[in-house]
Amino acid sequence: MAQYSVFPEEFGYYFSEGSFERIYKQTIKDFQLQMGLDTFVEAAREFNHDSGDFNLKHSNQLEPGIKRYQWVNAEESRMITVAYNSSGEIIGIQFDNYEKFTSDRGTSINTYRLPFEGEWFVLWGGNDAFLNYHYPYAHQRYAYDFIRKSGGSAFDGDEGLLEVYHAFGAQVVTPRGGEVIRVVNDVEDNLPHYPNMTVPEGNHIIISHGYNEYSLLAHLRRNSITVAAGDTVEAGTRIAQCGNSGASDTPHLHFHVMDGKDPYASQSIRIQFAELREPRQGDTVKGRSGR
């Protein structure tokens, strides 16, 4: 067990006062191989200049043995994300701008249910770049990535096999009634950790719900989709299975609502959920069975 020189809860204090070498000495060897001390100190000093004190805003644990912390300055213009392992070592530090957008103030006109049944885990989701890596990008700003866990793990067995992931093959349902306008069903599922960046959405479904609102369900299992473009569907209808197609590292379900048919030309819309508060990263949520 490594000795703490900078405890997670004290990171902001030491960073704000310029103790960059002390912080660096607590980083893991892999981090130090990628960035030397002088380079780190220079980058940290430049980022810290005129920033004021950094205060803890969020912390979470997405996987066993690793905990992430978000530090934001008083003006909420700059953000530091730092990750610690269970030995007290810093495994990653990221400097970034802390952005907020006026679109956060609005929500969808329609209400939506969760697009699955049973308990799932929110891997990415929320109106904050720390909670949701989609957030800086307008076309998917309010997107969610959901996985399934059992005993705190997303898989049980050899993590190189798709079949051991609890999300793989799980039922995906319609988040709201509407008309199916696009289906892609023939993209091969990736082996874990080998995403296909040439077809980012992989197998996916786009549904029109009225009021210029469209839902996108992506990374579905090959040949699992049971609807076609032009079909009318009711909320809660089983229409596919979760897969690992497209730009997907491991099996998960991507879900977002947008204001147009084209996922890249449209703006993502903050989702108004029918039966629960807005989920965010780290939450376990339960989709109801049936319609």
pLDDT at 233: 98
Residues of the chain falling short of pLDDT 50:
1
What pLDDT sits at residue 204?
A: 98
8-97 folds as Nuclear Transport Factor 2; Chain: A, (3.10.450)
Domain ranges of the chain: 8-97, 102-287
The pLDDT value recorded for residue 61 is: 87
- pLDDT for the residue 1: 40
63-88 residue pLDDT tens: 888 999 999 999 999 999 999 999 99
The contacts of residue 27 (CB under 8 Å, 6+ apart) are 89, 90, 91, 93
Domain spanning 102-287, CATH architecture: Distorted Sandwich (2.70)
Per-residue pLDDT tens for 158-195?
Answer: 999 999 999 999 999 999 999 999 999 999 999 999 99
